[in-house]
């Protein structure tokens, strides 16, 4: 193995594969701007290198694959001119799109916490490996953000209304859930990951067979027993309708989910609903990223995101004061303004 970097992402070649190992264990490998840029640079280099036949994305140590992005930086930037936040989003979304369109097979090992930005670098991969440690979520509505990094593409393509449920509630899935929903392609015991990586490095032309050989039967997926309820209670694209359906149901599960939604930003729940509805109708991932960048450019500077980060990450009082405080106060015009396309010279663009 030939290491090329010892920073927040370890970049190396191992046999016939390129390796990207996230290396910020104290931050559960949350992505920062230098990590995104380093991964882009490595992927572009390997794209034209015939000796690299596949790419592995994993983490170096610790309990998570990737807990998200540099949320505190985004909020601090949003409270000022937002320029640093926009640059981060622009770069991160280019990484997401590069992985989505990458010509060589990518294997993402989602061993441990896989949230936000971690979803954005694992879901574009052809092979997505879950384990007994996988904890997958898009929890952004709890901090006044929205499920970005391609969430508007992946979530509406899940079974029924599961994507809407995940986007609004921030519910956590385990590895078995991920496999059942297609968020993961294989389920391996964590003790087999080192062997999987070694074998893939030696035989990148046999990735599917290697993962299939080492895979085990996953435990029963709890999410499958909830899909009927999710489809019924989260059927609407209108947030007030979903809240009313949960309230009218009266069951224990509905009450729990209603309580969860009452802690979320009403603004970003409405943003997420529209994002998933429009994303589900798009035919081009780049168009999705263009839209998410426009949304992100605005939301990152709005009250609810700055307040959500204060309440959940900085002060940790877990009592955000959302404004507007109710779904009814958030008009269609309000949401239209968040979704309006950016001027041509400010739009997100993929790598040329």
State the catalytic residues: 69, 117, 140, 148
In angstroms, the CA 112 to CA 63 distance is 6
Task: Tell me the Ramachandran region of residue 15: left when phi exceeds 0, alpha when psi lies from -120 to 50, beta otherwise.
Answer: left
Q: Partners of 114 in the beta sheet?
A: 66, 136
With residue 307 as reference, give the H or E element that holds it.
Answer: helix 303-309
Q: Three-state SS for 135?
A: strand
Rounded to whole angstroms, how far apart are CA atoms 267 and 330?
Answer: 7
Q: What is the DSSP letter of 253?
A: H
DSSP three-state, residue 17:
strand
CA–CA gap between residue 326 and residue 344 (Å, rounded): 33
H and E: helices and strands count for the chain = 16, 11
φ and ψ at 254, to 5 degrees? Answer: -60, -40
């Amino acid at each position: 193995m030939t290491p090329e970097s010892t920073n927040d992402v370890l970049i190396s070649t191992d046999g016939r594969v390129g390796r990207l190992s996230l290396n910020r264990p104290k931050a559960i490998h949350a992505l920062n701007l230098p990590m995104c840029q380093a991964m882009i640079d490595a992927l572009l280099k390997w794209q034209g290198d015939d000796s690299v036949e596949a790419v592995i994305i994993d983490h170096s140590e610790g309990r998570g694959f990737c807990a998200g992005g540099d949320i505190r930086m985004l909020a601090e930037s949003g409270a000022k001119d937002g320029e640093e936040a926009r640059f981060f989003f622009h770069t991160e979304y280019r990484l997401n799109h590069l992985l989505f369109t990458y010509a060589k097979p990518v294997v993402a090992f989602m061993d441990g916490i896989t949230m936000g930005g971690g979803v954005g670098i694992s879901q574009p991969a052809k092979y997505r490996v879950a384990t007994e440690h996988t904890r997958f979520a898009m929890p952004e509505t709890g901090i006044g953000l929205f499920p970005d990094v391609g969430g508007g593409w992946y979530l509406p393509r899940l079974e029924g209304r599961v994507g809407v449920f995940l986007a609004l509630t921030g519910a956590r899935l385990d590895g078995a859930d991920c496999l059942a929903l297609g968020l993961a392609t294989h389920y391996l015991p964590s003790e087999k990951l080192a062997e999987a990586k070694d074998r893939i490095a030696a035989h990148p032309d046999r990735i599917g067979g290697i993962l299939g050989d080492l895979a085990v039967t996953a435990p029963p997926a709890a999410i499958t027993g909830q899909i009927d309820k999710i489809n019924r209670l989260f059927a609407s694209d209108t947030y007030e309708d979903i809240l009313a359906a949960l309230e009218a149901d009266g069951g224990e599960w509905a009450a729990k989910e209603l309580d969860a939604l009452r802690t979320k930003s009403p603004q970003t729940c409405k943003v997420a609903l529209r994002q998933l509805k429009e994303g589900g109708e798009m035919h081009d991932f780049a168009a999705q990223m263009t839209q998410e960048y426009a949304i992100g450019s605005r939301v990152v500077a709005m009250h609810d995101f700055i307040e959500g980060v204060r309440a959940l990450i900085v002060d940790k009082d877990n009592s955000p004061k959302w404004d507007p405080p109710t779904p009814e106060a958030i008009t269609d015009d309000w949401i239209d303004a968040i979704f309006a396309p950016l001027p041509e010279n400010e739009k997100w663009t993929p790598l040329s």
